[in-house]
């Protein structure tokens, strides 16, 4: 994986938020966006996501995508939609405990 567009938020030596972004042709992909529980609702997710999107644009991406579940208890899709993402498809994922 190419870490060029990986972004992190640090408090001292502790990594508290990340946006792992990659360019695939002309498409940017947000592969992971996460913020530690105790640091949520402070705007860190938005800041690191926007910085990752800027990096993707600078490296040739003309569109960006990400995958998330609408059943996410943290309502992360509200953040994604607030920065311009729009739902295109919804996929069902099945799981079986083994």
What domains are there in the chain, each with its CATH number? 5-67 (3.40.630.30)
pLDDT at 94 over 90: no
Within 1-98, strands assigned E span 5-11, 14-24, 27-35, 63-66
Query: Do 20 and 32 meet the contact criterion of CB atoms below 8 Å apart?
Result: yes
pLDDT at 1 over 80: no
The phi, psi pair for 20, rounded to 5°, reads: -100, 110
Query: Do 21 and 55 meet the contact criterion of CB atoms below 8 Å apart?
Result: yes
Tell me the pLDDT tens digit for each residue of 48-90.
999 999 999 999 999 999 988 777 777 788 899 999 999 887 7
pLDDT at 31 over 90: yes
Tell me the pLDDT tens digit for each residue of 2-29.
899 999 999 999 999 999 999 999 999 9
pLDDT at site 60: 95
């Amino acid at each position: 994986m190419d870490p060029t567009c990986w972004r992190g938020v640090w408090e001292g030596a502790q990594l508290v938020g990340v946006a792992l972004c990659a360019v695939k042709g002309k498409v940017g992909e947000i592969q992971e966006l996460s913020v530690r529980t105790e640091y949520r609702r402070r705007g860190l997710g938005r800041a690191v996501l926007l910085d990752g999107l800027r990096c993707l644009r600078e490296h040739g991406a003309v569109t960006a995508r990400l995958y998330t579940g609408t059943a996410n208890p943290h309502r992360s899709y509200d953040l994604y939609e607030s920065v311009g993402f729009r739902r295109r498809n919804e996929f069902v994922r099945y799981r079986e405990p083994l």
